[in-house]
Amino acid sequence: MHSALKNAFDAEMQSARQALADDRLTEAFSHLERAHVLGQWYVMTHATTHVYMLRIGWRRRDLREILGQLLRIPGGMIGSIIGRVPRGNTGGANVSATRPLPIPQDLKDLLRHDRRSRLD
């Protein structure tokens, strides 16, 4: 992961952690979705976003999110290992785990120079 991408991922995760600590769960989840798009090509960053999404699902007592994340954690790790992830997918249980989604331009600019993300 190149340094600009890592810095952006870390910033989204830090914002998510702070929002989570302040019980701003919707805001935290939004930062996690952005972090997911940035980190889904790398095993540890991909798994980290799903673990935090699971924590939010648990705090909300959202069974769909909890079950979705329990499936996405190992599935996402395998996808990252083999290089098969749905580009732009935000990682929450509210979208299909296999569905590619449009990538916001600011994130696309960061991903464009990453050797693993393979953006066209």
- The pLDDT, as a whole number, for residue 26 is 98
Residue 68, token pair as written in the block: 């979705």
- Reported as a pLDDT band with limits 50, 70 and 90, residue 120 is low
| Statement: residue 1 has pLDDT above 90 | no
> Can you give the pTM of this predicted structure?
0.93
pLDDT tens for residues 24-57? Answer: 999 999 999 999 999 999 999 999 999 999 999 9
Q: Which residues of 30-39 are buried (b: 16+ CB within 10 A; e: fewer)?
A: bbbbbbbbbb
Q: Which of 80, 84, 53, 56 is nearest to 69 (CA)?
A: 53
The confidence score (pLDDT) of residue 117 equals 77
User: Which 8-state DSSP code applies to residue 95?
Assistant: S
Residue that wins the pLDDT comparison between 119 and 10: 10
> What is the amino acid identity at position 9?
F
